[in-house]
A and B are shown apart, each in its own frame.
Chain A
Amino acid sequence: MRPGPSLFNRIAVGLGLLFLYAPIVLLVVYSFNASKLVTVWGGFSTRWYQALLHDDQMLAAAWTTLRVGLASATVATVLGTLAAFALVRHPRFAGRTLFTGMIYAPLVLPEVILGLSLLLLFVSLGLPRGLWTVTIGHATLTLCYAAVVIQARLSSFDISLEEAAQDLGCTPTQAFLQVTLPNIAPAVAAAWMLAFTLSLDDLVVASFTSGPGATTLPMRIYSQVRLGVNPEINAVSTLLIGMVACGVIAAYVGQRRSTQRR
Chain B
Amino acid sequence: MKRRSLAAIAPYLWLLAFFLFPFLLVAKLSLSDQALAMPPYAPRLDLAAGVAGIASFLKALDLETYLRLASDRLYLVSYLSSLKFAAVGTVILLLIGYPMAYGMSRFPPAGRQALLMAVILPFWTSFLIRIYAWVAILKPQGLLNAALQGLGLPALSILNTETAVYLGLVYAYLPFMVLPLYAVLERQDPSLMEAAADLGASPLQAFWRVTFPISMPGVAAGALLCFIPMVGEFVIPDLLGGPGTLTLGRTLWTEFFANRDWPAASAVAIVMLVTLVAPLVFLQRRASTLAAAS
Total number of residue pairs linking A and B with CB closer than 8 Å: 268
- A2 and B11 within 8 A (CB): no
- B125 and A24 within 8 A (CB): yes
B residues near A89, Cβ cutoff 8 Å = 4, 7
- B136 and A117 within 8 A (CB): no
- A221 and B132 within 8 A (CB): yes
- A194 and B239 within 8 A (CB): no
Main secondary structure of the interface of A (DSSP, over half): helix
B residues near A201, Cβ cutoff 8 Å = 126-128
- Measured between alpha carbons, how far is A170 from B126 in the docked complex, in Å? 43
- A112 and B234 within 8 A (CB): yes
- Measured between alpha carbons, how far is A237 from B135 in the docked complex, in Å? 14
Contact with A along B249-292 (1 / 0, CB 8 A): 10011001100001001100100110010001001100110010
Tally of A interface residues using CB under 8 Å: 91
B residues near A80, Cβ cutoff 8 Å = 11
- Measured between alpha carbons, how far is A89 from B107 in the docked complex, in Å? 36
Instruction: Identify the stretch in B18-26, B64-72, B209-217 within 8 Å (CB) of chain A at 4 or more residues.
Output: B18-26
- Measured between alpha carbons, how far is A120 from B23 in the docked complex, in Å? 9
- Measured between alpha carbons, how far is A252 from B136 in the docked complex, in Å? 31
Which listed residue (B12, B121, B142, B143) contacts A248, Cβ 8 A?
B121
A82 → chain B closest CB, angstroms: 5
Within 8 A of B (CB), among A100-129: 100-106, 108-114, 116-118, 120-121, 123-124
12 A-B contacts (beta carbon < 8 Å)? A3-B190, A20-B118, A24-B130, A27-B132, A90-B1, A95-B12, A110-B233, A111-B232, A121-B25, A172-B4, A201-B128, A240-B126
Given A2-B106, A6-B106, A12-B102, 5 more A-B residue pairs with CB atoms under 8 Å apart are: A90-B8, A109-B280, A234-B136, A237-B129, A248-B121
Residues of A within 8 A of B (CB): 1-6, 8-13, 15-17, 19-21, 23-24, 26-27, 30, 37-39, 78-80, 82-83, 85-86, 89-90, 93, 95, 98-106, 108-114, 116-118, 120-121, 123-124, 136-137, 139-140, 143, 147, 155, 172, 194, 197, 200-201, 203-204, 207-208, 218, 221-222, 225-226, 229, 233-234, 237, 240-241, 244-245, 248, 252
